[in-house]
Structure 1
Amino acid sequence: MTLDRRKTLTFQALDSLWHAMQGRWTMNFSPVATQLAVGDWLLHLANSPGTQADLWAGFFGLTTEAVTERVRPRAKDPGAKGDLECGCRFDDPLWGEEPFLSLRVLYRLGCRWWEEYATDVPGMKPRHKAFISFLGRQMLELYSPCNHLFTNPELLRHTSEEKGANLVRGGRFLAEDLMRVCRVPFPLPDSGFQVGKNLAVTKGRVIYRNRLMEIIQYSPSTPEVFENPVLIVPAWIMKYYILDLSPHNSMVKHLVDQGHTVFMVSWKNPGYEDRETDLEDYIELGVMDAVEKVEEVVPERKVHVVGYCLGGTLSAMAASAMARDGDDRLKSLTMLAAQTDFSEAGELMLFIGHAQLSFLEDIMQFQGYLDAGQMAAAFQMLRSYDLIWGKWVTRYLKGEQEFINDLMAWNADTTRMPSRMHSRYLRELFLNNDFFEGRFRVKGRPVVVSDIHVPVFIVAPEKDHVSPWTSVYKFHLSSDARSVTFVLTRGGHNAGIVSEPGHHGRSYRIATAHEGQSYVPPGHWYHDTPVKDGSWWVDWHKWLMGSSGKKSTPPDMGGFTGEGEACAAPGTYVFGT
C-alpha cells in the first residue's frame, strides 16, 4: 500500500470517528442533511417576496379565524373524541374552558398555518419540502399544550388530586431512564415475559445452524399435516418470535394447529465480527440454505415461503433468483408488510438521503454495525405522539408505569444490523430502488420481480409507518405471478400482522388479481374492496390450504446439522444480546 493511500485511509478513519461522536448527540441524524433542507427552505423563501406576503396573509387570516371560532358557541365544544392536530389529543372536557380553549384553538390553527402556508415554498426540492414539513411538525409537538403540565387541564387536575405525588414518581422514572441513556447499569422493571417461558413456547427444535441463522422445525399438533411445508423468514431487524408470541396470538402455533409443517428462520444478532456480512449472505446463507434444509426434511415437496418486513423483501429477492435459475422448489410466496418498490416508501425516506447515508456509513464503519438504539430515533419520530410525547405525559407527568404486553416486551428485545449489509440495503434498495428496477444482482446476475410466477399473497397494514400500504401495493406494477392476493388489514406494522382470530375490532379487505387482468390503482382498489370483520389469518390459511396437497402422516423431525449442538426451540440465537 502506498504512503498516499495510507494517508487517505487515516483521514477517512478520522471522518468515521468524528461522525460517530456526532451521532451520539444528533440521534444519528446528519447535521449536514438537516442544514441542507433548512437552507433550501430559507433561501427560496428569502428570494420569494410573493410567498412571504402569502405567508403573512395566511397568518393573519388564520388569526382572524381563531378569533371568529373563539366566539362561536361551538368553540366551547372540546371536539370529538380523538380529535387530532399534529398528533395531540384534546379529549378532556376542560379543553372547552378558558384558558385552555384558546390554547387549543391557537395550537390547532398553528398546525394548519405551518402545513398550508409555511412549507409551500416554490423551487424547493420535494425531498427538502417534505423534510421541512416533518421537522415543523416535530417542533409543534414540542410546544403542544398537551405535553406540558401548566397548559394541560387533565394533568393539572391529576396533580391536584394526588397532591404532586405523580410528579415525584415521574421524576424517579425520568432519573432511571436518564441513567440508562448514559449507559449506567440500571435494572429494567420485570415485564413478566421471558423467551422460552411464556414467549416463543411453541414446541420444536433447532435442526440446522450456520454462522447467520438457525432453523427451527416445529412439532406437529395434528395427526395429519398438509404435504407442502411452510418456511417463515422474519426480518433480522427484530427477533423472530414476534410471529410466535404468547400461545393465544402465535402465528406459528396457529399454522401448526391448522395442520401445517412449519419451519422458522431465527437470525443471529450480529456483532463487530459480522461487519462484512453482506445482503447476499442473507439470501444465500439465509433463505436458500433454509430451503435446502426444508427439502431434506420434506423431500419432493415444494415450499410455501413466508417473509415478514425486511424478510419479505429478502424472500422476494430469493424467489426471483430461484425462478431466474430455473429452481422451482417454491410453491408460493407470502409477503407480510414487505416492500419491493421503495420509490414511495413513506416518511422513512426522509432519513435516507445521500448525506444521511454517508453519515450512517461512517458510524457503522467505526463500530461495525448499527444497533437498535441508533435506529430507534427515526421510528419514534414517525409516531412522535405515541412513542415520545405520549410516554412523556404518561410516565413522567402522570407518574404512571406503562403496562407492558407481550408485543411491547418483544419490541424491547433489540437487535443490530451488520454495517455492510445495512449500507447496501439502504443505498441500493431504499435510495436507488435497484431491486424493483432490475439492477440488484444475486450471484452476479440481476434479479427482477417479474421472474416470480408462483402465486403471491401480500398483507399490508393500513397504518404502517415503516412499509406504507400504497408502497407495498406497487408489487402489482411489475408482477407476472399467476395470481396476487392483496390484503389490507387494520393496524400498524406489527399489530396488523399479529392479528389472531378472536381479536376484537379486527377487520381487513381482500381481493385477488389474476394473471392478465388490468392494473387497478390503490385508491380504486380500496373503495371497490369491501371490508370483512375478523382476522386475515383465516383467509390466508384457506389460501395456503388450496395449494398444499392432501393431508398425510407428519414427517419426522429433521436431524441436526451445522455448527454447534442441537437444542430445543426457541434455540440459541434468539438469546443473543
Structure 2
Amino acid sequence: MTRWNEFSNAISGPELSEGHTPRHAIWKKNKATLWHYPTVEKKYDVPVFIVYSLINRPTILDFAPGTSVIGGLVNSGYDVYLLDWGIAGYEDKDITLGDYVVDYIKKGVGRALRHSGADEVSVVGYCLGGTLAAMYAAIADEPIKNLVCAAVPIDYSVPAIPEKWAEGLKEGAFNIDRFIDVYGLIPPVYIEAMFRSITSPIYYSPYVTLLTRANDKRFVEKWRRMNQWTKGHVPLTGEAFRQISNDLMKENKLVKGEFTIRGNKVDLSKIKSNLLVVISKNDNLIPQGQSLPLMDLVSSEDKTHQLVEAGHASLALTGKLAGILNSWLCDRSNH
C-alpha cells in the first residue's frame, strides 16, 4: 500500500522546480528569450549558443543539479547562451522554419556575440534544434567556429515513423495542409500522441518501473522530472509543421539542397565550421541514418561523429552530453 501511495503521489503531485543553473535574460523576441548562464570560472574564449527543439521546453538541458548539461558546461568554464522558444500562440501560426532561423537564431547569435565580446561562437543544436542550427550555419554571416548537432534529423529518406505512415505521407494519403489550415497551431496533445505512438510500448513502460521502485525517493524524483518534461510539449506553428512534413519528411529538400529560406537555397556544403555530430545508439526517435549523412554534406575539414550509448532523451537528462561537448570543445574554444 505504501508503494501504491507513493506511485499515486508521483503521478498527481505538484510540478517540480525547473532551471537550476543561475541565469538571466539578455534578449527577448516575441515569445522567445535568450538566456545567459555565466560561467563560474571562465576558461574558454568561445561561448556556447544552444538551440533546442521547437516542440518541447528545453528544461531537459538543465534537468537537475549534477545531471545538467548547461550546468556541466558552465562549471567547465564556458559562457552558455540558450535560446528558449517559449510557447507559441495562435497569432504565431504563420512563423516558418526560415523565420526561426533568420529572425531568432541569427539575431540571437549576434546578440550573444555582442554581450560576450567574443569573436566567435560555438552553436549546439539538439534534435530539431540541430536541424535549425545546421540551416543557420549554412547561411550565417556570423563567425561560427564550432557546430555541434546532437540527435539531429537531417536525411529524412530514412524514416523515423512507421513505414505505412511514411508511405501515406509521401503518397498524399495524409492531408497535412488541410489539418494545418483548420488548426493554425498543432496542439501539444497531438504532438504527444504522435510520440506515444512512435515509441510505444517504451513510452508506457516507465510507469511499471515507477511502481516497482516507488519507495526509492531519489529514483521517484528523477522519474517525476522526466515525466514532467515528456508531457511538456508546446504548440508548433502550422507553417513550421507544414515545412517539416512537406519539405523535409516528404521531399527531403534539405539533403537535396532544395530547401529555401526567404528565396535563398540552404546549401549545407557551405558549412566550414568544425563539426561534431553526436548520435545516440538507442534513439527511438532519430535513427542513426538520419544524422550521419550530415558528415558528408558539409565542407568542414575538422569533422567528427560520435556514437553514444544513450537514448534520445537520456543523452541530455543524464548530463552525459556535457562531458562529450567539453571533451570536443575544449581544444576548439580558444583563439
Structures share fold, TM-score greater than 0.5: yes
Structure number with the bigger relative contact order (C-alpha 8 A, sep ≥ 6) is: 2
Matched, 1:381 2:166: no
Instruction: Give, in whole Å, the separation in 2 of the partners of 1:214 and 1:394.
Output: 36
Residues 1:412 and 1:228: Cα distance change in structure 2 (over 3 Å):
same
Matched, 1:333 2:147: yes
Helix, strand or coil at the partner of 1:206: strand
1:339 is aligned with what amino acid?
A: P
Helix, strand or coil at the partner of 2:227: helix
Contact 2:72 2:323 in 1 (8 A): no
Matched, 1:444 2:263: yes
Deviation at 1:359, TM superposition (A): 2.9
348-357 vs 224-233, greater mean Cα deviation: 348-357
Helix, strand or coil at the partner of 1:294: helix
Residues 1:349 and 1:455: Cα distance change in structure 2 (over 3 Å):
farther
| Structure 2 match to 1:372 | 188
Instruction: Give, in whole Å, the separation in 1 of the partners of 2:224 and 2:206.
Output: 15
Matched, 1:193 2:16: yes
1:486 is aligned with what amino acid?
A: H
Q: 1:214 aligns with which of 33, 54, 62?
A: 33
| Structure 1 match to 2:325 | 540
Give deviations 1:25-68, integer Å, cap 9, x for gaps. xxxxxxxxxxxxxxxxxxxxxxxxxxxxxxxxxxxxxxxxxxxx
| Structure 2 match to 1:270 | 88
Contact 2:176 2:245 in 1 (8 A): no
Residues 1:344 and 1:272: Cα distance change in structure 2 (over 3 Å):
same
Deviation at 1:328, TM superposition (A): 4.8
Contact 1:205 1:217 in 2 (8 A): yes
Contact 1:305 1:330 in 2 (8 A): yes
Contact 1:456 1:481 in 2 (8 A): yes
Unpaired runs of 5+ in structure 1? 1-161, 174-187, 501-534, 551-577
Residues 1:303 and 1:419: Cα distance change in structure 2 (over 3 Å):
same
| Structure 2 match to 1:54 | none
Residues 1:421 and 1:349: Cα distance change in structure 2 (over 3 Å):
farther
Instruction: Give, in whole Å, the separation in 1 of the partners of 2:67 and 2:209.
Output: 27
Residues 1:373 and 1:395: Cα distance change in structure 2 (over 3 Å):
farther
Matched, 1:359 2:175: yes
2:327 is aligned with what amino acid?
A: K
Helix, strand or coil at the partner of 2:54: coil
Matched, 1:291 2:114: no
Contact 1:212 1:282 in 2 (8 A): no
Q: 2:54 aligns with which of 217, 233, 236?
A: 236
The percentage of counterpart residues that share the same residue type is: 22
| Structure 2 match to 1:205 | 24
Contact 1:457 1:484 in 2 (8 A): yes
Matched, 1:494 2:310: no
1:340-489 pair list within 5 angstroms: 340-347=154-161, 350-352=164-166, 353-354=169-170, 358-388=174-204, 390=205, 403=220, 404-489=223-308
Q: 2:45 aligns with which of 224, 227, 238?
A: 227
Deviation at 1:276, TM superposition (A): 0.9
Q: CA RMSD in A?
A: 2.8
Helix, strand or coil at the partner of 1:386: coil
Matched, 1:321 2:124: no
Deviation at 1:548, TM superposition (A): 1.2
Instruction: Give, in whole Å, the separation in 1 of the partners of 2:333 and 2:304.
Output: 16
**TM-score between both structures, scaled by the size of structure 2:** 0.87
Residue-pair matches, total? 324
Greater Rg by CA = 1
2:19 is aligned with what amino acid?
A: A
Deviation at 1:209, TM superposition (A): 0.4
Instruction: Give, in whole Å, the separation in 2 of the partners of 1:256 and 1:201.
Output: 12
Residues 1:435 and 1:242: Cα distance change in structure 2 (over 3 Å):
same
Residues 1:414 and 1:457: Cα distance change in structure 2 (over 3 Å):
same
Give deviations 1:145-187, integer Å, cap 9, x for gaps. xxxxxxxxxxxxxxxxx9xxx8xx9xxx8xxxxxxxxxxxxxx
Helix, strand or coil at the partner of 1:436: helix
Residues 1:343 and 1:205: Cα distance change in structure 2 (over 3 Å):
same
Deviation at 1:409, TM superposition (A): 1.8
Helix, strand or coil at the partner of 1:341: coil
Contact 1:229 1:301 in 2 (8 A): no
Contact 1:348 1:378 in 2 (8 A): no
Instruction: Give, in whole Å, the separation in 1 of the partners of 2:173 and 2:137.
Output: 28
Contact 2:155 2:289 in 1 (8 A): no
2:146 is aligned with what amino acid?
A: S
Deviation at 1:315, TM superposition (A): 0.4
Contact 2:47 2:118 in 1 (8 A): no
